[in-house]
Amino acid sequence: MSRAPGEQVLVQEIWRGAVWAARPMTVVRDEDDLVALWFPEGTRWKAPVPPPSHSQTGSRGEWIATCLELGEWVFVDREWDVATVVLMRPGDWHALWVSRRDGELLPWYVNLQEPFRRTRRGFETMDLALDVVIRDDASWYWKDEDELATFVEHGVVDEALAAHVREEGLGVVGRAERNEPPFDEPWPDWRPDPSWPMPELPEGWDERCR
């Protein structure tokens, strides 16, 4: 099911069998050991928000956890505000994001998530709240620890999974400190084919497509 460079795919986040978020991306590389996707600045994607019947008081983590707990959300249009290469390896509980904003390279972003699964239209996964930001000198910090704690409090994520996610993040940090792939590879200098069009959401983006 590998796809050619330049082909557009649908990346869906799936929660308990339902679509939680949907992003169109372009294939950069699709090989047995690595999937690289292009998510350019300005791409329109679908993000979940609480339905009108829900209270939106409290922190972002609280309303996300409540939506997931109840299985209730609606979608809004969002526009991606950075230019990102998404790197995923089979079996990994994370994706690495290499992003630029206004031409300036941002730190490596470790998006902790379920291992990706292939579908007939692209890929599916699920974000697990916690992230790691890794600078060029391999210094780093956790991001959204409070959201992961809220997920645990609501029973959306159990303690064992939370510990596994943290272990995964520390493992990626170790690779950065040892300058192992992909941290020693030229992904920060990669540029897309200028002929590639902006990725667009296909019809049926809100339906799971195994």
Question: Is there a domain that residue 203 lies in?
Answer: no
Mean pLDDT to the nearest integer, 166-177: 98
Question: Is there a domain that residue 153 lies in?
Answer: yes
CATH number of the structural domain spanning residue 57: 2.40.380.10
* Mean pLDDT score across all residues of the chain: 96
pLDDT at 209 over 90: no
Q: Which sign does the torsion angle of CA 178, 184, 188, 194 carry?
A: negative
Instruction: Report pLDDT digits (tens) over 66-110.
Output: 999 999 999 999 999 999 999 999 999 999 999 999 999 999 999
Question: Is there a domain that residue 13 lies in?
Answer: yes
pLDDT at 178 over 80: yes
pLDDT for 59 equals 87
pLDDT at 145 over 80: yes
Instruction: Report pLDDT digits (tens) over 121-141.
Output: 999 999 999 999 999 999 999
- Measured distance CA(65)–CA(87) in Å, rounded: 26
pLDDT at 154 over 80: yes
Give 171's pLDDT tier (boundaries 50, 70, 90).
Answer: very high
Instruction: Report pLDDT digits (tens) over 27-39.
Output: 999 999 999 999 9
pLDDT for 175 equals 98
Question: Is there a domain that residue 67 lies in?
Answer: yes
| Total tally of structural domains belonging to the chain | 1
Question: Is there a domain that residue 41 lies in?
Answer: yes
Question: Is there a domain that residue 39 lies in?
Answer: yes
Question: Is there a domain that residue 198 lies in?
Answer: no
Contacts of range 167-171, beta carbons closer than 8 Å, 24 or more positions apart: 168/92, 168/93, 168/94, 168/112, 169/94, 169/110, 169/112, 169/130, 169/131, 169/132, 169/142
pLDDT at 56 over 70: no
Tokens at 81, concatenated = 């505000």
Residue predicted with more confidence, 3 or 209: 3
Residue 98's domain spans which residues?
A: 8-184
Question: Is there a domain that residue 196 lies in?
Answer: no
Separate counts of helices (H) and strands (E) for the chain: 3, 13
